[in-house]
Amino acid sequence: MGAVASGLRALRWSEVLRWPSATVRQGGDEVDASELAALRDSVRAFCDEHVRPTARERDRAEAYPAELLPGLAEVGVLGAVIPEEHGGAGLDAAGYRVVIEELGAADSSLRSLVSVNLGLVARSILRWGTEEQQARWLPGLARGELGAFGLTEPGAGSNPSQMTSRAVRGPDGWTIDGAKIFITNGSLGAVTMVFARAVVDGQDRGITCFLVPQDAPGYVGTQIHGKLGLRSGDTAELALDGVRVGDDDVLGEVGGGMKVALSALDDGRFSLAAGAVGLAREALEVSLRYASEREQWGGPIAGKQLVQELLAAMHVDIQAASGLVDAVVERKLAGVRCTLEVSTAKLFATEASVRCADRAVQVHGGYGYVDEYPVQRLLRDARGTTLYEGTSQVQHLIIGRLLTGVSAF
Ligand SMILES: Cc1cc2nc3c(=O)[nH]c(=O)nc-3n(C[C@H](O)[C@H](O)[C@H](O)COP(=O)(O)OP(=O)(O)OC[C@H]3O[C@@H](n4cnc5c(N)ncnc54)[C@H](O)[C@@H]3O)c2cc1C
């Protein structure tokens, strides 16, 4: 590790992570580049020390990374995009991308936990929440009392409008009944954005988002085990049985739930694309190391043309995916809506991460098939990223609709 990175490790992370976003926004000059590089070195150093060495054991045991959360909160990662007045680090899109990319390289289960906490939940509360809702939930999210995003149901995945969870308005608030599935942070978090059909005076008023405390009576989150990848994350099914919330727990407007969900997914998919770039980069880095050390036919396999083809293809995928994420960062910093760029980056980066991790297993030969090296975990984790926050097919359809103006869903 270089002197700069060692020096930064001596600092409190929250100090390293905080800077006025305007400084980052200027882009292009030496100072900004070095600040982002310092941030990257800091997150990487934390991951090298605390995350990478234990990732295999967590993956094998499907063990939730509870022991890492206080450290991640302390250094500012869990509150990376939450404004300082709410206890966060106040990073903008450029800084957030760096944090997520590094977490994605080290452990995608952990990256997923942070992406949902920040990309989907914190950003939604910032965009749609009242001052009271922001003050109630954001400081806790930054401390590691995590947030979850409860959209998917057993009968409503790619098409959330088929959801059947209901929130019935009574004289003293709302009563929510229903079921959700595959909800990240859904059983070990503090709050879940629950999407349900609002029913007022017997009339369906449309999908609405509620901020539901996970300790509310009637909320039961149960972890799902046996996942192919992302095995140390908390992926839960939710039973919602007469959960009571008030009007002040509605996020956004009654009937405005899909607006909340779609804006959240724009942020979530950006985060996912950045994490996928990190995963693909890790696949290449470990493959380069292995290929230069592994000798067959009297020399390192790195000197074999067909191995170089695998490595070169990984490099090309990573550069392309990274460029697409750059395009999203640029537009987010400019404050421009960028659903087309986000879906394009999510689709390409997640598919590229699967290709890169698969090639990495090939470079490692039989050793890639066991978990002595991280590449098989990378492949299993990458596979999940093409499924959630809209499958690859759904991303194609979003892109197609935006290009043609015609929905083919
Ligand atoms: C690890 C993990 C974490 C998750 N975390 C969350 C979370 O935090 N919150 C949350 O709400 N959800 C979460 N999900 C759920 C995820 O978003 C859904 O699994 C995803 O949206 C797909 O829904 P589905 O599984 O019901 O598949 P389906 O919608 O049943 O799709 C099955 C197949 O049909 C294809 N398909 C569907 N519709 C079309 C169409 N119109 N045209 C062409 N092909 C189509 C799909 O692409 C897919 O290949 C998570 C899932 C996983 C695996």
- Is 80 exceeded by the pLDDT of residue 7? no
- What mean pLDDT comes out for the span 127-151? 97
Is ligand 1 within 6 A of the CB of residue 388? Answer: yes
The CATH number of residue 281's host domain is: 1.20.140.10
Q: Crossing angle, helix 257-293 and helix 375-385, to 10 degrees?
A: 160
Confirm if 180 and 189 have CB atoms less than 8 A apart.
no
Is ligand 1 within 6 A of the CB of residue 162? Answer: no
The CATH number of residue 155's host domain is: 2.40.110.10
- 186 and 280 in a single domain? The answer is no
Is ligand 1 within 6 A of the CB of residue 230? Answer: yes
Residue that finishes a domain, picked among 100, 131, 146: 146
- 179 and 287 in a single domain? The answer is no
State how far the alpha carbon of 159 is from the alpha carbons of 8, 179, 409, in Å: 46, 15, 9
Atom from ligand 1 closest to the CA of residue 230:
1
Mutate to test the pocket of ligand 1, among 152, 184, 271 (most ligand atoms within 8 A of CB): 152
Is ligand 1 within 6 A of the CB of residue 182? Answer: yes
- 232 and 362 in a single domain? The answer is no
- What mean pLDDT comes out for the span 271-300? 98
Is ligand 1 within 6 A of the CB of residue 345? Answer: no
Q: What is the pLDDT of residues 175-227, one digit of tens each?
A: 999 999 999 999 999 999 999 999 999 999 999 999 999 999 999 999 999 99
Residue that finishes a domain, picked among 196, 228, 256: 256
The pLDDT of residue 186 is: 98
Is ligand 1 within 6 A of the CB of residue 184? Answer: yes
- 92 and 46 in a single domain? The answer is yes
Candidates 362, 396, 394; CA nearest to 378 is 362
- Is 60 exceeded by the pLDDT of residue 388? yes
Task: Please confirm, yes or no, whether 389 is among the known catalytic residues.
Answer: yes
The single residue of 282, 341, 351, 389 carrying the catalytic annotation is 389
Confirm if 276 and 382 have CB atoms less than 8 A apart.
yes
Residue nearest to atom 45 of ligand 1 (CA): 393
- Is 60 exceeded by the pLDDT of residue 22? no
Atom from ligand 1 closest to the CA of residue 408:
41
- 129 and 7 in a single domain? The answer is yes
Residue-wise DSSP of 90-136:
---HHHHHHHHHHHHHH-HHHHHHHHIIIIIIIHHHHHH--HHHHHH
The residue type found at 247 is D
CA of 59 from ligand 1 middle (Å) equals: 23
Residue that finishes a domain, picked among 240, 256, 272: 256
Question: How many Å apart are CA 77 and CA 94, to the nearest integer?
Answer: 14
Mutate to test the pocket of ligand 1, among 158, 184, 392 (most ligand atoms within 8 A of CB): 158
Beta-bridge partners for 200:
203
- 266 and 374 in a single domain? The answer is yes
Residue nearest to atom 1 of ligand 1 (CA): 384
Atom from ligand 1 closest to the CA of residue 180:
11
Mutate to test the pocket of ligand 1, among 114, 391, 396 (most ligand atoms within 8 A of CB): 391
Residue-wise DSSP of 132-179:
HHHHHHHHHHHHT--EEEE--BTTBSS-GGG---EEEEETTEEEEEEE
- pTM for the full predicted model: 0.93
Is ligand 1 within 6 A of the CB of residue 157? Answer: yes
The pLDDT of residue 20 is: 35
- Is 70 exceeded by the pLDDT of residue 404? yes
Number of domains comprising the chain: 3
Residue nearest to atom 30 of ligand 1 (CA): 157
Q: What is the pLDDT of residues 92-127, one digit of tens each?
A: 999 999 999 999 999 999 999 999 999 999 999 999
Structural domain that includes position 312? 259-404
- 271 and 243 in a single domain? The answer is no
Provide the mean pLDDT of the chain: 93
- 243 and 287 in a single domain? The answer is no
Is ligand 1 within 6 A of the CB of residue 151? Answer: yes
Q: What is the pLDDT of residues 26-82, one digit of tens each?
A: 334 444 788 999 999 999 999 999 999 999 999 999 999 999 999 999 999 999 999
Exposed (0-12), middle (13-18) or buried (19+): which is 170, by Cβ within 10 Å?
Answer: exposed
- Is residue 295 in some structural domain? yes
C-beta neighbour count of 29 within 10 angstroms: 9
Is ligand 1 within 6 A of the CB of residue 140? Answer: no
- 186 and 279 in a single domain? The answer is no
CA of 387 from ligand 1 middle (Å) equals: 6
- Is residue 409 in some structural domain? no
Using the 8-state DSSP alphabet, how is residue 68 labeled?
A: G
